[in-house]
Chain A
Amino acid sequence: MAALTEEQSMIRDQAKSWITEQAPVQKFREMRDSGVPARFTPETWSAMIEMGWTGIIVPEQYGGSGLGYLTFGVVLEEVGRQLTASPLFASALVGASAILLGGNESQKQSWLPRIVDGSEILTLAVDEGPRHAPSKVALTAEKTESGFRLSGDKTFVPEGMTATTLVVAARTSGEGEQGITLFIVATDAAGVSRKQVNTVDSRGYANVHFDGVEVNQDAILGDLDNGYDLLDAILDRARAGLAAEMLGTAAQAFDMTLEYLKTRKQFGQVIGSFQALGHRAAGLFGQLELSRSCVEAALQAIDAEAENIPEMTSLSKAKVGDFLHEMSNQLIQIHGGLGMTDEFDAGFYLKRARVLEAAFGNQSFHKNRYAVLKGF
């Protein structure tokens, strides 16, 4: 863990103890088995709001605590460890980042306090096809007399079914990175229809259809036609935050595996005494340490408003993505038959891992982006 401030350490300890007591992976199992349509437990979400987690990156003047992204990452790591389901990431990190980065003063005053108090759940609707490709936005926003008319489809929208409001990337002109505009659209607006998608991790995602949805001029977030840089900046916050959650998921998978290596006996000895497994664990631990450094560095770059945020977030998402991929496979492999049973939790981590990897750009997306940023 980075050299945390006293406040950050306190928040981490609070998050760790609350999550392990009140929202452990057993709660996730109960939520999954209950089939609740929201894909999270309302009490869990209320408690998070109560504890102030929805305001971590929101400045005090808008009702938050303004503690920054590294602090949010510290909480998300604990969330990732127990697979705690809630709209915390989608709304309080991605939604709030969108308003913070792109909102004018009146939009900030209007949205941020409601994100913090939980009366609004904001989420970002960016992808349209199976692969993350933010510059290939095809959903159109046509100019009308009073504003714009949105037509098209969004896929894989996090917490898309429970969100009250969407930040939608739309094409107002041009092609590629040119001519993209972000709009704030209520999910109950006429012409918006949503369909739950059932992902392998049992979490809340939706596909959203826009059938001539009318919005007025005030719905624009940031600049008309020049929204790509803003979109990319929002996405980088999302990627860095997601990487922190992924680190937690991978770290928990590592801890579960290490515990099993120390307790499971075969051939009259604990299996961790076999050098093949000891060396595998050593290699995984090294990757965990390297991943942690990348995750923290990306969040610190965002807090410092450094110039290398895009490189650092792509490094972070790709490195932790590779590690989580391997770690989640080893979690199953080393647990053997036990790992294959639904009764044991390992499967939850494997399933969640692949969804997290795919979200906001998988490893190959970020490796390519990193190379392009480095000029090759």
Chain B
Amino acid sequence: MADINLEDFRAETRSWLKENFPASIVGSAMGLGGEAEESTKADFETWRLRLADKGWGAPTWPTEYGGAGVGHPEARIISQEMGKLGAFNPIPILAGMGVTMVGPTILEYGTDQQKEKHLPGIASGEIRWCLGLSEPNAGSDLASLSMKAQDDGDFFTLNGQKTWTSGADISQWCGAVVRTDPSAKKRNGISFVMLPMDQEGVTTRPIRLISGASPFCETFFDDARADKADLLGPLNEGWSVVKRLLQHERQSQTQARGPGGGSKKPSLPELAKSYIGTDENGVLADADLRVRLINHLMDSEAHSLTVNRITAEAKGKVEVSASASILKNSATNIAQAKAELTMELMGSQGVGWEGDNYNQEELDNVREWLWGKAVSIYGGSFEIQNNIISKNILGLPETTQKG
């Protein structure tokens, strides 16, 4: 019976999308980066509003907070049907860290007032969120963070610095982990606060990366204020909130996204053949690269099968699971290997920085390759994930915590 209902849902979804998705922006999800032509800007906005009204920006959230109140199987169907029509959901991008991380954590830890205040703005894509987690001296060892929050009655006064805050320069709100009790032991005395970015005490400075892009900022807090009403979870017990938040982060990073993953682009074997050529039997004319390409494709297929298997075993419930660390590391390996292999097969055309000697695909891959080095560092580095696997899944003793 459930399957029949899902098929009905699929049919309804398809017809709603056909009726409401503006044909002028088919397949142009990339226009979200602000490169949209003036003529289609209005259509982007119309589409966002219709999606938000339908609750499909964050479909699994309750309807009273801007979601559609559907289950994960239905959410998958919405995304599958969008893909088929060249439609897309811009809201998770517009909301920054809102839909994937902050929202689910507010749903779990927030008071009713906090949910009412913050969730609808995220679900409609109107409010972009950033996260203040890492500090210059608190990266993998996040619990050693030192940004201070002083109790000043109705609000906290914040002083310190965060770094690697994605999109801090364009966000309206920030969720930050801060130290509210300096006398407590490391993991105690931490709280999670939410604050508006548009205030005098907050300044941001974009960080230029090796890829040339600046998706991250350093964010400075100089007597900035966070309302007490925006404390998420209990005072001094923010570490459990952060742990949950980071689990949501890992979960959102379990898909292997390599450069050139779009369906319009040639597959990696096709690309390899076009640069390298084949022997008389159609076999790629570089025996060593061929084997490594095979290993990569097999890893990639094994990863997708594992995502499917874990989803099937969860019987439709996509929960934050211990397997997220395994999948994050596996996705990282695949994405990085793909960029490296692409670069290698392109030979001297694969190492261009800019200029007309290189085509767009070649230049894009170089930037993807450089950017991709971050994947094994952010969201808990490759090594931190291995710590989590060995301790939480395999039950081996903790070795990294001292004090």
Assuming A293-B305, A319-B302, A370-B298, is B399 touching A283 (CB within 8 A)?
A: no
Asked if B305 and A376 make an inter-chain contact with CB atoms under 8 angstroms apart, the answer reads no
B313 at the interface (CB under 8 A from A): yes
Asked if B397 and A270 make an inter-chain contact with CB atoms under 8 angstroms apart, the answer reads yes
Mark each residue of chain A from 246 to 282: 1 if its CB lies under 8 Å from any CB of chain B, else 0.
Answer: 0000000000001001100000011011110111011
Complex Cα spacing A262 to B295, Å: 32
The B interface is mostly helix, strand or loop, or mixed, namely helix
Residues of B within 8 A of A3 (CB): 312-313, 315
What residues of chain B have their CB less than 8 Å away from a CB belonging to chain A? 269, 272-273, 278, 282-284, 290-291, 293-295, 297-299, 301-303, 305-306, 308-309, 312-313, 315, 323, 326, 329-330, 383, 385-387, 389-391, 393-400
What residues of chain A have their CB less than 8 Å away from a CB belonging to chain B? 1-3, 258, 261-262, 269-270, 272-275, 277-279, 281-283, 285-286, 289-294, 296-297, 315, 318-319, 367-368, 370-372, 374-376
Complex Cα spacing A15 to B220, Å: 61
Q: Which of A294, A371, A372, A374 contacts B305 (CB 8 A)?
A: A294
Asked if A262 and B298 make an inter-chain contact with CB atoms under 8 angstroms apart, the answer reads no
Assuming A290-B299, A290-B306, A367-B295, is B396 touching A376 (CB within 8 A)?
A: no
Between-chain CB contacts (< 8 Å), 21 pairs: A262-B395, A270-B397, A275-B399, A275-B400, A279-B390, A281-B390, A283-B386, A286-B330, A293-B305, A293-B306, A293-B308, A296-B305, A297-B305, A297-B309, A319-B302, A367-B291, A367-B294, A371-B284, A376-B273, A376-B282, A376-B290
Chain A residue at minimal CB-CB distance from B267: A374
Q: Which of B273, B297, B309, B396 contacts A281 (CB 8 A)?
A: B396
Assuming A279-B383, A376-B269, is B313 touching A294 (CB within 8 A)?
A: no
Kindly provide the distance from the CB of B293 to the nearest chain A CB, expressed in whole angstroms.
8
Asked if A278 and B309 make an inter-chain contact with CB atoms under 8 angstroms apart, the answer reads no
**A371-B293, A374-B269 known; 13 other A-B pairs, CB under 8 Å?**
A258-B396, A261-B396, A278-B396, A281-B389, A286-B326, A286-B329, A286-B330, A290-B303, A290-B306, A315-B301, A367-B294, A375-B269, A376-B278
The A interface is mostly helix, strand or loop, or mixed, namely helix
Assuming A293-B305, A294-B302, A315-B302, is B395 touching A285 (CB within 8 A)?
A: no
Residues of B within 8 A of A272 (CB): 390, 396-397
Kindly provide the distance from the CB of A308 to the nearest chain B CB, expressed in whole angstroms.
10
Kindly provide the distance from the CB of B88 to the nearest chain A CB, expressed in whole angstroms.
28
